[in-house]
């Protein structure tokens, strides 16, 4: 099993270090190889995703990724900015399915911004299509407006588009995932306004017929945003396009209390995947040793489950995280009165102890 380890920038290096310690503590044989990515790679090699890093990622069974980005790179040309590394990896590895579980741990119910009764026991999975939609659709650009409300004015435009096969494959991923859970899929669209999402709805409905054991319903994205904060436990698997998924999955993240708790996985059709916490590089706390490493440690557990076929080891890590929370250990982002505040490394130590 070969794992490419790409810590990246900011807190990325601190949190990935803890996840690697946890992986090494398992009785499994891994080949772990690290490389620079993001701003760190730009500083060293002049590009956020150097050829060697991309090759390492392509040759690996899975990529464990930290986070990239820092405000100091915001003035670089767009193709050289750290965040382009993620887009490049997604594109080159064909990572079209993004899994974002939002689980509210019993011990952290108080950290959610919603009332405890709304989030206690929350366990939903948001599946976001990752390689299409308005983020990648061509044409895009800036120009002099040829028509519309202000002809002759400067304008910018992007193109929302999805092909049938792109929708079919993400729909299948969602139905397969639902089969292993509560067997319910909510497809989120904006079919009332957008042609792209009328096709989305039609295709998801067709694919749904292949899965008679899974219940399918459709929801407009505005309603989904409302339901997510009104009655989030009503959902099981939510499947949606790239842009809606981007927004809804961050909203779902906050239901659970802290973005520092949320893992994510991005998979291609051969189950090769990139595993990363849902948060960014948090430059505001980088280097202080206070970042929560649990989202990254839980991402490593997802990696074991989805790409490396080691479900038992994944269960062990998840149980260890639960145990540490039950012991009352908290990094500052999830701290509340009556619990014990710890730093990044201490949290890693605690997970290692719980594993043992
Ligand atoms: P962010 O997720 O880095 O931080 C948002 C807030 O959450 C900050 O207050 C931060 O301190 C806190 N936070 C994040 N992770 C935490 C953790 N593990 N423990 C404790 N607190 C945590 O988002 P941002 O501030 O909008 O972006 C910072 C940089 O990260 C930008 O350059 C952005 O482009 C980049 N970014 C990268 C990724 C990625 O690598 N996948 C994702 C999002 C943002």
Q: What is the pLDDT of residues 147-170, one digit of tens each?
A: 999 999 999 999 999 999 999 999
- Known catalytic residue: 335? no
Domain endpoint, select from 265, 283, 305: 265
- Atom of ligand 1 at shortest range from CA of 291: 19
Are 241 and 173 in a shared domain?
yes
- Quick one: 88 and 118 in the same domain? no
> How many angstroms does the Cα of residue 282 sit away from the middle of ligand 1?
4
**E strands, the chain, where?**
2-8, 31-34, 62-67, 97-103, 123-129, 141-144, 154-157, 184-189, 215-220, 237-240, 263-267, 273-277, 329-330, 340-341
- 351 and 310 in a common domain: yes
Phi and psi, residue 21, nearest 5°: -60, -40
Site to substitute for ligand 1 among 37, 49, 69, most atoms within 8 A of C-beta:
69
State the distance from the centre of ligand 1 to the C-alpha of 84, rounded, in angstroms.
16
Express each pLDDT in 179-231 by its tens digit: 989 999 999 999 999 999 999 999 999 999 999 999 999 999 999 999 999 99
CA 280 to ligand 1 centroid distance, Å? 3
Residues 346, 322 share a domain: yes
Q: Residue 337: which pLDDT band, with cuts at 50, 70 and 90? A: confident
Beta-bridged to residue 2, according to DSSP, are 31
- Of 92, 100, 138, 349, nearest in space to 245 by CA: 100
**CATH assignment at residue 132:** 3.40.718.10
pLDDT, tens digit (0-9, with 9 covering 90-100), for 116-146: 999 999 999 999 999 999 998 999 999 999 9
Looking at the structure, do residues 254 and 273 belong to the same domain, yes or no?
A: no
Residues 244 and 274 in one domain: no
Which atom of ligand 1 lies at the shortest distance from residue 283's CA?
Answer: 28
> Is the previous residue joined to 139 through a cis bond, with omega within 30 degrees of 0?
yes
Q: How far is CA 235 from CA 2, 115, 238, 250, 315, in A?
A: 35, 17, 7, 15, 23
Are 335 and 221 part of one and the same domain?
no
Cα 193 to ligand 1 centre (Å): 32
Indicate the number of domains in the chain: 2
User: CA nearest 93: which of 126, 67, 130, 125?
Assistant: 130
pLDDT for the residue numbered 119: 92
- Please state, rounded to an integer, the average pLDDT across all residues of the chain: 95
Residues 292 and 255 in one domain: no
Q: Which domain holds residue 54?
A: 1-96+268-356
Together in a domain, 133 and 48 = no
Return the percentage of the chain with pLDDT > 90, whole number: 87
Instruction: List the catalytic residue out of 250, 323, 335, 341.
Output: 250
Residues 119 and 220 in one domain: yes
Q: Are 142 and 198 in the same domain?
A: yes
* Contact predicate 298/271, CB 8 Å: no
The residues with which 209 forms a beta bridge, in sequence order, are none
Plot region of 183 (φ>0 → left; ψ -120 to 50 → alpha; else → beta): left
Asked which of 265, 294, 328 is the last residue of a domain, the reply is 265
Q: In terms of domains, do 59 and 122 share one?
A: no
Binding pocket residue ranges, ligand 1, CB within 6 Å: 11, 15, 67-70, 83, 86, 259-260, 276, 279-285, 291-292, 295, 333
CA distance 338 to 120: 19
C-alpha of residue 292 to centroid of ligand 1, in Å: 11
Length of the chain: 356
* Catalytic member of 55, 72, 217, 222: 222
């Amino acid at each position: 099993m070969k794992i490419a380890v790409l810590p990246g920038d900011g807190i990325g290096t601190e949190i990935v270090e803890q996840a690697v310690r946890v992986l090494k503590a398992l009785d499994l044989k891994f080949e772990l190889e690290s490389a620079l990515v993001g701003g760190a790679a730009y500083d060293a090699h002049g590009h956020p995703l150097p050829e060697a890093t991309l090759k390492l990622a392509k040759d690996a069974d899975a990529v464990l990724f930290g986070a990239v980005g820092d405000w100091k790179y915001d003035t670089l040309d767009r193709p050289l900015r750290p965040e382009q590394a993620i887009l490049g990896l997604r594109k080159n590895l064909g990572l079209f399915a993004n899994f974002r579980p939002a689980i509210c741990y019993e011990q952290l119910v108080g950290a959610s911004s919603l009332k405890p009764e709304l989030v206690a026991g929350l366990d939903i999975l948001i599946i976001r299509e990752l390689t299409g939609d308005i983020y990648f659709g061509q044409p895009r650009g800036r120009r002099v407006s040829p028509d519309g409300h202000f002809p002759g004015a400067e304008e910018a435009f992007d193109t929302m588009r999805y092909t049938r096969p792109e929708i079919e494959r993400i729909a299948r991923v969602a139905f397969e995932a639902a089969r292993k859970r509560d067997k319910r899929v909510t497809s989120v669209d904006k079919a009332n306004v957008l042609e792209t999402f009328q096709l989305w709805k039609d295709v998801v409905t067709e694919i749904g017929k292949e899965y008679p054991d899974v219940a399918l319903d459709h929801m407009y994205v505005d309603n989904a945003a409302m339901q997510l904060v009104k009655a989030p436990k009503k959902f099981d698997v939510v499947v949606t396009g790239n842009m809606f998924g981007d927004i809804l999955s961050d909203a779902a993240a906050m239901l659970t209390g802290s973005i520092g708790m949320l893992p994510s996985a991005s998979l291609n059709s051969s189950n090769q995947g990139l595993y990363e916490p849902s948060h960014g590089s948090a430059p505001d706390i980088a280097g202080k040793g206070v970042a929560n490493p649990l989202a990254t440690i839980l991402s490593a557990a997802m990696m074991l489950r989805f790409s490396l076929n080691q479900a038992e080891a994944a269960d062990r890590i998840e149980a260890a995280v639960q145990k540490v929370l039950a012991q009352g250990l908290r990094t500052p982002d999830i701290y509340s009165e009556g619990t014990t505040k710890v730093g990044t490394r201490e949290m890693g130590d605690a997970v290692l102890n719980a594993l043992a």
